[in-house]
Structure 1
Amino acid sequence: MVSGGVSPPPADHVTVLYFLANDPDREVREGARKAFANIAENDLCRAVSSPDLHPSVLNAVARLFYRFRHLAELLAAHPNCDIETRIFLEGKGVVVPPADEHALSPDAEEVESTEEVFEETDEPVDEESEAFKSKYQLAQTMGVAEKIKIAQTGDKEWRMILIKDSNKLVSGTVIRNPRITESEVLAISKSAIQNDEIIRVICANKEWVKNYQIRKALVENNKTPLPTSLRLLATLGEKDLAQMAKSKNISSVLSTQAKKLVMAKKKDR
């Protein structure tokens, strides 16, 4: 699922599987959940020894593998173990170190199914959220092969992160992700993207260029090939053409052509 070349450290491997287990693609999601459920106890213990493991990942490990007593004790003592996980573990008879501010209760609901452990959400991306920051930090440690696999089918958060990746194979894969939305394509078209291939893929997509705002953004993006920009320029409205005719942020060839188009439109009135 997330292999490729050198095996990642256990903590990274478990974290990647956790996030892929929430992927919108059913095949990717189910494959990751199966792989997650089959991680060896020794590998889990090594993963949990990392002080940086995210609380959500710890919670998932706890709910699926609490029967491994040594592992459960490591989880309970982990500095990132949150109150929900601590309550769950204590309810399973695990000795949980006392928390500073929270009284623990043994009434934790038992959850053993991967379908219940991994829950999908359809909320807008919050770049300040711990989950987003965790993915961003994880991306900094991942190899190119792992990034490409996630770029192919990853969710919006992963796409937002990997479209900016310095490796053009990674960022170029994101734009071909079948789940990418027009709003994301528009944002990419407006950005100072460094990968020329991404702009070429957008320009070649007939459905995307039907969107007026995307066409306008492509004309204004200096990465768009000039012949394509000239073709798209001719489809814009007079107001936008007038603005581009005065703009110093686009090619002089485009601004000159915009002036000609504005004059032609006025003659046709």
Structure 2
Amino acid sequence: MAEKIKFTISPAVAAYVRAGTTAEVRLAGCSAASDLPPFERITLLFCLTKDAEPAVRSAAAVGMLSLPEDVISEYRSSTEAHPLVLEVLDRIKPAVQESPVSANSDVSGQSDQSELSEEMEDDEPIDEQNEEFQSKYKIALMMGIAEKIKMALSGDKEWRAILIKDSNKLVSSSVVKNPRYSDAEVLGLIKAGIQNDEIMRLICANKEWIKNYQIRKALVESSRTPVQNAMRYLSTMNEKDMAHLAKSKNIPSVISTMAKRLLLSKKR
């Protein structure tokens, strides 16, 4: 198991999680859990969400998210309920009430579509009410930091949209290191307001992104962009945008003042 948590388990649960158990058996445990009494069912699924094998973790997470309300209630009422398990249930209970997650949901974070299809979809807005997006969002609630970072570095557009908002800066900054992170996503992120200085540093250091005029313009307009970077990008703006920036009160005064000076120098 990737993460060791000590608590008493029954023989029925131990059959799937004891040391030496193969990944195939542990994966089978995710399905077999539904045949166990509520307490053992939740205990088994919780253990398997900590498994070292991503496929097992994902299947167990789906199982946890699909738990019926009566099963959760019975576990809560037990005097042997483990605090860590209760904490997880507290986090996923609203998700269970909203909509159960299908066992067929895509929990791998890998797109089944071709790279060409992914590129075509990059400019399309993500529907956060979409069932697949919600499924991934709920799974993210149960992922550890290391697992989130791994997914941030390799996940599809929906995973990137979820993890870029993660409160852990290591996770959110890992998203912009994902080789599939597109210009459109970068532009949207800048316009939405970047709170993570490391993300801003990574964007400014990416030569390919900085070649994009709209990204440079958005960086100049962002109050989070380091002044030295904003000044450099400002000099590449066209006259129309420069005039707008010179009058803007939504950017640092040092930037608008420099925009005015650059405009005057061009008119001489």
Provide the TM-score with structure 2 as the length reference. 0.60
Q: In structure 2, what is the equivalent of residue 112 of structure 1?
A: none
Q: In structure 2, what is the equivalent of residue 210 of structure 1?
A: 211
* Deviation for aligned residue 1:143: 1.6
- Aligned pairs (5 A) from 1:247-258: 247-258=248-259
Please give the alpha-carbon distance, in whole angstroms, between the structure 2 residues aligned to 1:119 and 1:225: 35
Please give the alpha-carbon distance, in whole angstroms, between the structure 1 residues aligned to 2:25 and 2:111: 19
Give SS of 1:176's match. coil
Q: Percent identity?
A: 50
Please give the alpha-carbon distance, in whole angstroms, between the structure 1 residues aligned to 2:217 and 2:101: 48
> Cα 1:246–1:151, aligned 2, differ >3 Å: closer, same or farther?
same
> Cα 1:151–1:119, aligned 2, differ >3 Å: closer, same or farther?
closer
Q: In structure 1, what is the equivalent of residue 60 of structure 2?
A: none
- The answer to whether the 8 Å contact 2:66/2:101 transfers is no
Q: In structure 1, what is the equivalent of residue 170 of structure 2?
A: 169
Higher relative contact order (CA 8 A, sep 6+): 1
- The answer to whether the 8 Å contact 1:219/1:233 transfers is yes
Give SS of 1:207's match. helix
Q: Which runs of 5+ in 1 are unaligned?
A: 8-34, 55-78, 86-117
Q: In structure 2, what is the equivalent of residue 53 of structure 1?
A: 66
> Cα 1:37–1:239, aligned 2, differ >3 Å: closer, same or farther?
farther
**What is the one-letter code of the residue matched to 1:221?**
S
- Aligned pairs (5 A) from 1:118-133: 120-121=112-113, 122=117, 124=124, 125-133=126-134
Q: In structure 1, what is the equivalent of residue 265 of structure 2?
A: 264
- Aligned pairs (5 A) from 1:73-84: none
- Aligned pairs (5 A) from 1:102-117: none
Q: Which runs of 5+ in 2 are unaligned?
A: 6-21, 36-40, 42-62, 68-98, 105-109
* Deviation for aligned residue 1:199: 0.8
Please give the alpha-carbon distance, in whole angstroms, between the structure 2 residues aligned to 1:47 and 1:181: 41
Q: In structure 1, what is the equivalent of residue 141 of structure 2?
A: 140
Please give the alpha-carbon distance, in whole angstroms, between the structure 2 residues aligned to 1:148 and 1:224: 24
Q: Which residue of 12, 22, 29 maps to 1:42?
A: 29
- The answer to whether the 8 Å contact 1:4/1:145 transfers is no
Q: In structure 1, what is the equivalent of residue 88 of structure 2?
A: none
Provide the TM-score with structure 1 as the length reference. 0.60
Alpha carbon RMSD of aligned pairs, Å?
2.9
